[in-house]
Structure 1
Amino acid sequence: MPNVLTPDIIRVTTPQTNIRCGVGESPIWIAHEAAWYWVDITAKTIWRLDARSGAVSSWSTAEMIGCMAPQASGGFIAGMESGVFHLNVVAGGIVDAQHLAAPATSAMGMRFNDGRCDRQGRFWSGTMLIDMSVPRAAGHLYRYTKEQGISAPFISNLFVQNGLAWSPDGRTMYLSDSHPNSQLIWAFDYDTNSGTPHNQRLFVDMKTMDGRPDGAAIDIEGCYWICANDAGLVLRFTPEGKLDRQIAVPMKKPTMCCFGGDKLDTLMVASIAAGQAADDEWAGATILLNPGVQGYAETAFAG
């Protein structure tokens, strides 16, 4: 049985109890700012929490943001509705958005979802149908680089692409599909020189477990942490795919986790309020907790 940690033995806080994200996603730790960022997809909002002062800021965007990653030259790279964008947040709640690319296979009613950079700074993200009730595997996984632009699909037939992460050495890529018709996590061998995944294999079948696989993070022991949406859990799997730890969180629908803080030993977990009871104070909350292990900082986009 996995080691079970419950909220009474971990530090559980909500940055702002009045912030309830419709679909909270894509937490990021920006070390030089000592700040956390995350997004509310349906509200088209970027949130920022100053870890030292506790001050919170927000910015509105013209499109839904599925994911963001820091960019080495400043700002963020993001997967949105109409493609990949460079975003700068500026004073007055304004976001300067520059459209970089759109997939050749893009279609109406779709958007980018989960995404992050590999260890070499290439940006990866996948598409999904906005209406999850449509049981059609129309999503694809793409790679974007400044030099090559957006790729052709590397992986297709995805319902709700999620769970992207890379092992500490970058040689294993993880990917999940959150849809009830899938609920699978895969591992791939990853060529760090070419940025190419191959040898796709089943890592975990979560149909046999509580919750659906959502967003993920990697710790310094090479273990894969993934939010179990609908189950109120964050799960840790060893590189061999063995469940060895789980943390109960106060939100039923956690979405994505990210390591951060000065020692990279804090886990931020975002969640969904949409469809939850109006009096559920934790639905849509974004929390910080101590998982008992350090993680890795997110790699910045190399562009």
Structure 2
Amino acid sequence: MPILHKPEITRVRTAQATQATQATIRCAVGESPIWLAQEAAWYWVDITAKTIWRLDSRGEVKSWQTAEMIGCLSPQVCGGFIAGMESGVFHLHLNENGSVHAQSLAAPTESMAAMRFNDGRCDRQGRFWSGTMLIDMSVPRAAGHLYRYTKEQGISTPIISNLFVQNGLAWSPDGRTMYLSDSHPNSQLIWAFDYDIDSGTPRNQRVFVDMKTMDGRPDGAAIDTDGCYWICANDAGLILRFTPDGKLDRQIAVPMKKLTMCCFGGDKLDTLLVTSIAAGQAPDDEWAGATILLNPGVQGCAETTFAG
């Protein structure tokens, strides 16, 4: 992988420093990183550029263009990916020539005009979850919903509503706690839910962390094997780790101010890939929109493949 340089990354309340490496890929809105162990490769998306990126362990980079903006993707058992896009949920097959075959699976009955799907992933049982948001984030209207999709039941009615910018989906290692955030400045909340693993139903919504009292807005998240919740603090250039009881016990400063999501991967699931946003940042900021790899000193949980 082409490297520009290796800056030190500050780590708070840990005994060992770490470093990050930067690929020369610059994303307008980088998001939804995932690690595919069977390919020893990372995938992530650039939402507004309608691009899927792949980086393998040899440093080889490939990309694919999609017809719609793509907010998130998860691998499928049958091959390819399930994705939340502008008009609904799709199955994507990535062709060798850089094109994408997209098959529509479902769309919400609620209007998708001026909206798109955003953050999403599978629960521990392989159900796909994703939420919608207004494309123009500057509009202060909580029009977004969170949906569940399965092959057997299709797309659900809204499970959670009144969301500005749905984000931060994650599940505890045992799958019995679901996390969700709202990135909008009018919210900046992270919630926890009790999660029924049999029915795929979240209950008992409560505030897990109120980030209005902290630096940055809550964006995408990951879970480690200790059950701790790692959230990207957009606008602050920080990754924050919260224990299962909501205590901040670690933070990592990264060179990108507007980081969006982190994901554990690598052979031992001890590497974090972190995406970020270039849109709206200074043209001479070489880290804006960067995708970096770093060693956080802990092991993460593997992402679940969509069961359909």
Look up the match of 2:72: 67
Q: Quick one: which of 129, 142, 146 aligns to 2:147?
A: 142
Contact persistence 2:41–2:56 (CA under 8 A): yes
CA distance in 2, matches of 1:237, 1:219: 10
User: Who is 1:299 aligned against?
Assistant: 304
Matched, 1:41 2:47: yes
What is the Cα deviation at residue 5 of structure 1?
7.1
Which whole-Å deviations, capped at 9, do the CAs of 1:44-87 have from their partners, x for residues lacking one?
00000011x10100000000000001111111000000000000
Query: Is 2:104 the partner of 1:99?
Result: yes
Letter in 2 for 1:10: T
Among residues 28, 31, 44, which one is paired with 2:34 in the alignment? 28
Query: Residue type matched to 2:32 in 1?
Result: S
Give the counterpart letter for 1:152 in structure 2. Answer: T
Match of 1:165 among 170, 177, 181: 170
AA at the equivalent of 1:97: A
CA distance in 1, matches of 2:91, 2:181: 25
C-alpha RMSD of the superposition:
1.3
Using the alignment, how far apart are the partners of 1:285 and 1:107 within structure 2? 30
Q: Distance in 2 between matches of 1:50 and 1:269?
A: 15
- Tell me if 1:9 matches 2:17: yes
- What are the superposed Cα offsets for residues 79-129 of structure 1, whole Å, 9 maximum, x if unpaired? 000000000111110111100000001331000000000000000000000
Query: TM-score, structure 2 length as denominator?
Result: 0.95
SS of residue in 1 equivalent to 2:19: coil
- Deviation for aligned residue 1:4: 1.1
After TM superposition, the structure 1 = structure 2 runs for residues 266-277 of structure 1, keeping only pairs within 5 Å, are 266-277=271-282
User: What percentage of residue pairs aligned between the two structures are identical?
Assistant: 83
Give the deviation of 1:10 after TM superposition.
1.4
The answer to whether the aligner puts 1:257 opposite 2:262 as a matched pair is yes
SS in 2 for 1:13: strand
Which one of the candidate residues 137, 158, 162 is aligned to 1:153? 158
Q: 1:22, CA displacement in angstroms?
A: 0.4
User: Shift of the alpha carbon at 1:11?
Assistant: 2.2
Q: Which structure 2 segments of 5+ residues have no match?
A: 1-10
Which of 207, 210, 218 is the equivalent residue of 1:213?
A: 218
CA distance, structure 2, for counterparts of residue 14 and residue 83 of structure 1? 32
Q: How far 1:252 sits from its partner (Å)?
A: 0.2
SS across alignment from 1:29: strand
Contact map agreement 2:31 2:71 (CA 8 A) in 1:
yes
Query: CA–CA distance in 2 between the matches of 1:96 and 1:277?
Result: 35
* Contact 2:168–2:220 (8 Å) recurs in 1: yes
Distance 1:5 1:69, change over 3 A: farther
Gaps in structure 1 of 5+ consecutive residues: none
Contact 2:86 2:112 in 1 (8 A): no
C-alpha distance in structure 1 between counterparts of 2:122 and 2:201, whole Å: 13
Query: How many equivalent residue pairs?
Result: 298
